[in-house]
Amino acid sequence: MKYQQIDQYAAKISDEKRTAVYGGSKAGYDSRKKALFTHYTAPDDLRRLAGNIKQHTIENLDTYLPQVEAKLQANGAKVHWAEDSHEACQHVLEIMRARNATKIVKAKTMVSEEIGLAHYLEKEGIECLETDLGEFIVQIAHDQPSHIVKPIIHKNRREIAKLFEENGLGDYNDDPETITRRARQYLRHKYLEADVGLTGANFVSAESGRLVVVTNEGNSRFSLAATKVHIALVGIEKIVPKDRDLAILLNLLARSGTGQQLTVYTEFISGPRSATQPDGPEEMHVIFVDNGRTEVLASDCREILRCIRCGACLNVCPVYRQASGHAYRSVYPGPVGAVLSPLLAGKKFPELADLPKASSLCGACNEVCPVNIPIPDLLLRLRDRGKREHSEAAAAAAPPLGGFALGATLPIAWKSALALGGLINFVPRALLPRAVKSWIDARGLPPWRGGQFRKWMKQRKMK
Amino acid sequence: MNLSREKILGRVRAALAPLKTRAAHPTFADNAATMRSLSTIDATALFKERLQLVNGRAFDDAASLVAWLKSEGHTHGYCDPTLWPSLESAFENSFKVETSFDRTRIDDYQFGITRSVGAIAETGSIVINDGSTSSRLGALAPWVHIAVVSKKQIYPDLVSAVMSLGEDPNVIWCTGPSKTADVEGILIQGVHGPGVQIALLDI
Amino acid sequence: MPKTTPQRPKGKRIQLMATCLCDAFYDDVAAATVEILEHLGCEIDFPEAQTCCGQPAFNGGDWAASRKVVRHAVKTFAGENPVVVPSGSCAAMMYHGAVLEFEKEPDLASVKQLGHRTWEVCDYIVNGLGISTWSGRFDAKIAFHRSCHLRGSGSTDAVYKLLRSIESVELVEFDEFEQCCGFGGTFSVTFPYISKSMGELKLNHLRAAKPDIIVSADMSCLMHLGGLANKQNQPIKSMHVVQILRDALKNSGGLAK
């Protein structure tokens, strides 16, 4: 391959889309900075603390997973385990079939995207309706979300207005308030018609068996007030050791992701509805999903499992801002996706091994990560792996550096190169190595000064 | 199913086996994440201030609440039957307040009044749970939600709030009215949940 | 995130790593480094066998090739003295990147030994030699582009300390300070569109602040930005921090010969 796919994608997106993505990301970055630095004197200390809490958790998952399972069962929830996407979808289907259920209202959960749930259920005649406004719009547009927190960061109001008109949700009107009211009106009756409310979980406390679900819109609450069955899809890495740890993580999550102190609703769900409550699920099912996470745990990139899906790394990433989330060809885009997606791909790692290369390794992602994941280090490890596994996608457009490395280990060769390098100005452009041509086309070259410093230094020493 | 469980846990154990040491669970002080320069340590005053910052409203008595409801034209609502006896006198005849929530008529209810089990001063959050909420839908579906908050149950921060979650299976921290910024990042209040979040402060 | 080791040696007898970029294009930056360090009383060894820090291959994922280059550096810079380098990215390669790629190698200890005494030059001046003000004079509005590999080190604060203390230097601020310039080593040729877009965005922000000179602790960023600016037919004036420091001394006649 001559070109890197993500660079190509970035070159081809419309100005409108790039403006929307850039503006949305930058706003997210600015609001995070304001929230954290106005509220705390040492937000970086908090990030390190939260990182240590999550690192401890993933390194002790062998203890915490059985512990959280026992707690959930004691609370009256049923616990299921899914090795892969297919099994996870099957569990959902079985729960539906057992109750002759055909309608799900769904809050936002990236795991459901990962396992392709809506598509799977559609084939089984089950309606799986997105209720988060952004995801609802993605669904009716047959599109893909391009950000893990702001799914339609790439869309503008005109596109949404047209979409609503095409889907029988009123005449063309691109006023954001009108759009929102229409969605509210349409979806509230859908909740009441549905059989099952499906959510993810931002955290699961191993101490109390509580799922924590954070939202702004109230869609998760409505799903769990109107329906009789709750299904929660939870990645095995979402565990938090103690309730008290949640205070730190919750203080960081919304500030990092949206610049809010807390999202509007923080739900702590530990079982089906209480005996005296007329509304809500009588049954609660938690499906713990592996789907490649144990492989990540076994790898030298396990720190990525700390991720709490805030989206801060996307917001600050200069590559994400230029390319948009769709460029990453996977469920998780941006810096976190560049690590997680190729790893979760298992045997298909080489196909996504270009994702870790789509970075200048600037380190801004680590700087904003609420759990201090050393993303650039993980990207580097994956580049090493991509090279060793001879990934074509990773190797695309890469200048061969073997010769450079050789020259850099032989001082005589090096000094010759310094002396002769000036000849580059006389080599016809067509004969230059592709990488050099690419550089010179965009930037030219400064005057060649090979050997000059060493000469100066020698003369200085002689004085 | 059990086979999957064993396989997954087996892979977890195998993945962690090579680790020579496991990272310790860090300890932290209760005030590790307390916000700096809070304007006041008076819990009620701080709660009211932060509630307002998230576009919530507080009323100190039923009379002013009812006056506001009337001025907004919200005259048909739902109220927790255990609260109604103490509130009834504040509502005049032009109001229609039902004490059972009929989910076939959710659009009829313009407001819902339910209990809370506390509040969080630092964030302006109202804490509700299954035990205290007479109807999940009644607290959520109407445009206006009014939570009765006891001044004696205001927690200063998240640590104290988390340690007080208790045994209830469904505790919710409500921090202002529902909202979204999905459309071009523009903030719109009132999505699937209430568009107005009120705390009625009781003693 | 690359973090410098707290206990780096602080003596005045040092080894200079010139960097491959200075070897090829920016001899005056390496010379200025020598001039200011000798002005501060340092005795400088320049191991002639030096070539490169190994970063290009490391970043590209060719760790086998990079390790060869690092091993050569370990041999070349053998000793106990501080190694000082006028580049944040080369310094970070020595104290962080090399350590990462040698994690499973038998000679990790020797790589760590080198990394743990490597200093970016401004960090060395302020935190190694204890200098907190710079004498001399330099009349200019300067926009300091904080190169990405200075993150996690004492270099950024050191640069500010030094520049702010020079008479007549005015530091100007610009938007999106935290954003990368888009060089990223081989990234600039493997992701040319994105690299160029990032660079042009950075140039817009820098120009909006109307500086006289754009200054950095890394010539790689300046080579990338300067090149793009030339292609736009709007060349920029750029200098390395050490050149500012040297010229400030020269301007007030304070530079030791």
Q: What is the 3-state secondary structure (H, E, C) of chain C?
A: CCCCCCCCCCCCEEEECCCHHHHHCCHHHHHHHHHHHHHCCCEEECCCCCCCCCHHHHHHCCHHHHHHHHHHHHHHCCCCCCEEECCHHHHHHHHHHHHHHCCCCCCHHHHHHHHCCEEEHHHHHHHHCCCCCCCCEEEEEEEEECCHHHCCCCHHHHHHHHHHHCEEEEECCCCCCCCCCCCCCCHHHHCHHHHHHHHHHHHHHHHHCCCCEEEECCHHHHHHHHHHHHHCCCCCCEEEHHHHHHHHHHHCCCCCC
**A271 touches A205 (CB < 8 A):** no
Contacts of B38 in chain A (CB under 8 A): none
Look over chain C and give the mean of its residue pLDDT values, rounded to a whole number: 95
What is the arithmetic mean of pLDDT over B26-44?
88
pLDDT of residue A11: 97
Q: Domain A5-11+294-395 has what CATH class?
A: mainly alpha
CA-to-CA distance for A377 and A394, rounded, in angstroms?
Answer: 17
**A117 touches B149 (CB < 8 A):** no
Residue B150: domain span: 40-202
CA-to-CA distance for C25 and C218, rounded, in angstroms?
Answer: 13
Residue A75 contacts B, CB cutoff 8 Å: yes
For the record, the structure tokens of A286 come out as 């938690």
Q: Work out the pLDDT band at C233, boundaries 50, 70, 90.
A: very high
CA-to-CA distance for A82 and A291, rounded, in angstroms?
Answer: 7
The amino acid that residue C104 corresponds to is K
Provide the chain C residues 87-116 that lie in CB contact (below 8 A) with chain A. Answer: 97, 100-101
Q: Work out the pLDDT band at C2, boundaries 50, 70, 90.
A: low
Contacts of C194 in chain A (CB under 8 A): 6-7, 10, 318-319, 322-323, 358
pLDDT of residue C256: 60
Which residue in the set A383, A402, A449 is minimally distant from C25, CB to CB? A449
**Which residue in C has a C-alpha nearest to residue A7's C-alpha?**
C191
Per the rule left: phi > 0, alpha: psi between -120 and 50, beta: everything else, A437 is alpha
In this structure, is residue B86 part of a structural domain? yes
CA-to-CA distance for B128 and B119, rounded, in angstroms?
Answer: 9
Chains contacting A with at least 3 CB pairs below 8 Å?
A: B, C
Give the model confidence (pLDDT) of A192-217 as tens digits: 999 999 999 999 999 999 999 999 99
The verdict on ipTM greater than 0.90 is: yes
CA-to-CA distance for C149 and C184, rounded, in angstroms?
Answer: 10
Supply the pTM of this predicted model: 0.96
For the record, the structure tokens of A299 come out as 């790898």
For the record, the structure tokens of B2 come out as 């059990």
Which residue in the set C18, C185, C194 is minimally distant from A453, CB to CB? C18
Report CB contact under 8 Å: A65, B131.
no
Compute the count of residue pairs across chains A and B with CB atoms less than 8 Å apart. Answer: 253
- Phi/psi at A2 (5° precision): -85, -25
What's the number of CA atoms in the CB half-sphere (13 Å) around residue A178?
Answer: 14
pLDDT of residue C255: 81
Report CB contact under 8 Å: A10, C178.
no
Chains contacting C with at least 3 CB pairs below 8 Å?
A: A
In this structure, is residue B132 part of a structural domain? yes
Q: Which of A30, A72, A210, A277 to mutate to test the interface with B (most CBs of B within 10 A)?
A: A277
Contacts of C3 in chain A (CB under 8 A): none
DSSP-derived 3-state class of residue A190: helix
CA-to-CA distance for A264 and A222, rounded, in angstroms?
Answer: 14
Contacts of B55 in chain A (CB under 8 A): none
What is the arithmetic mean of pLDDT over C187-202?
97
pLDDT of residue A20: 93
Place of tokens 């001899």: C27
**A244 touches B162 (CB < 8 A):** yes
Q: Which of C62, C96, C153 to mutate to test the interface with A (most CBs of A within 10 A)?
A: C62
Report CB contact under 8 Å: B181, A258.
yes
pLDDT of residue A399: 86
Q: What is the DSSP string of B95-124?
A: -EEESS--GGGGGG-SEEEEE-SEEETTTT
Report CB contact under 8 Å: A176, B24.
no
Report CB contact under 8 Å: A452, C54.
no
Chain B nearest C-alpha distance from A409 (Å) = 35
In this structure, is residue B5 part of a structural domain? no
**Which is it for the CA torsion A314, A320, A322, A324, positive or negative?**
negative
Report CB contact under 8 Å: C56, A397.
no
pLDDT of residue A72: 97
Contacts of C59 in chain A (CB under 8 A): 361, 380, 383
* Residue C10: Cβ-neighbour burial (10 angstroms; 0-12, 13-18, 19+): middle
pLDDT of residue A434: 85
Residue A164's alpha-carbon distances to A103, A173, A177, A189, in angstroms, are 22, 8, 13, 17
pLDDT of residue A406: 84
The amino acid that residue A314 corresponds to is L
Place of tokens 């616990």: A79
Chain B nearest C-alpha distance from A215 (Å) = 9
- Phi/psi at A86 (5° precision): -60, -45
Residue C58 contacts A, CB cutoff 8 Å: yes
DSSP-derived 3-state class of residue A214: strand
Which residue in the set A59, A219, A251 is minimally distant from B19, CB to CB? A59
Cβ-Cβ contacts under 8 Å for B2 (sequence gap 6 or more): none
Chain C nearest C-alpha distance from A53 (Å) = 18
- Phi/psi at A395 (5° precision): -80, -15
Torsion, Cα of A353, A358, A361, A366 (10° steps) = -80
Report CB contact under 8 Å: C196, A442.
yes
Per DSSP, A156 falls in state -
Residue B24 contacts A, CB cutoff 8 Å: yes
Residue A80 contacts B, CB cutoff 8 Å: yes
For the record, the structure tokens of A105 come out as 């209202």
Query: Which of the listed CATH numbers 3.40.50.300, 3.40.50.10420, 3.30.70.100, 3.90.79.10 matches domain A42-291?
Result: 3.40.50.10420
- Phi/psi at A197 (5° precision): -105, 125
Contacts of B26 in chain A (CB under 8 A): 49, 52-53, 56
**C245 touches C162 (CB < 8 A):** yes
Average pLDDT, consecutive stretches of 10 residues, N- to C-terminus, chain A (463 residues): 92 94 96 95 96 98 98 97 98 97 95 95 95 93 90 91 94 95 94 97 97 97 97 98 98 96 97 96 98 97 98 98 96 97 96 97 98 98 95 90 85 89 80 86 93 95 84
In this structure, is residue B26 part of a structural domain? no
In this structure, is residue B22 part of a structural domain? no
Each as own residue / partner, the long-range contacts of residues A137-144 (CB below 8 Å, 24 or more positions apart, any chain) are: A137/A163, A137/B182, A140/A167, A144/A326
Hey, how many other C-beta atoms are within 10 angstroms of the C-beta on B119?
Answer: 30
Residue A162 contacts B, CB cutoff 8 Å: no
- Phi/psi at B106 (5° precision): -60, -30
* Residue A351: Cβ-neighbour burial (10 angstroms; 0-12, 13-18, 19+): middle
How many domains are contained in chain B? Answer: 1
Residue A176 contacts B, CB cutoff 8 Å: yes
Which residue in the set C49, C100, C148 is minimally distant from A363, CB to CB? C148
Closest of C172, C164, C166 to residue C142, by C-alpha: C172
Instruction: Provide CATH code, domain C137-251.
Output: 3.40.50.1860
What is the residue extent of each domain of chain C? 13-128, 137-251
Contacts of A385 in chain C (CB under 8 A): 61
Residue B141 contacts A, CB cutoff 8 Å: yes
Chain A nearest C-alpha distance from C154 (Å) = 15
Closest of C22, C70, C59 to residue A401, by C-alpha: C59
Task: Please report, in angstroms and rounded to a whole number, the separation of the first and last CA atoms in chain C.
Answer: 39
Residue B1: is its pLDDT beyond 60?
no
Helices (H) and strands (E) in chain A, counts: 24, 10
Report CB contact under 8 Å: C151, A359.
no
Run of H or E residues at A374: none
CA-to-CA distance for A262 and B119, rounded, in angstroms?
Answer: 14
Q: Which of A18, A32, A401, A463 to mutate to test the interface with C (most CBs of C within 10 A)?
A: A401
Q: Work out the pLDDT band at C157, boundaries 50, 70, 90.
A: very high
Q: Work out the pLDDT band at B34, boundaries 50, 70, 90.
A: confident
CA-to-CA distance for A233 and B47, rounded, in angstroms?
Answer: 34
Whichever domain contains B140, its CATH number is: 3.40.50.10420
The amino acid that residue B41 corresponds to is I
> What are the start-end ranges of the H helices in A167-230?
176-193, 219-226
* Residue A146: Cβ-neighbour burial (10 angstroms; 0-12, 13-18, 19+): buried
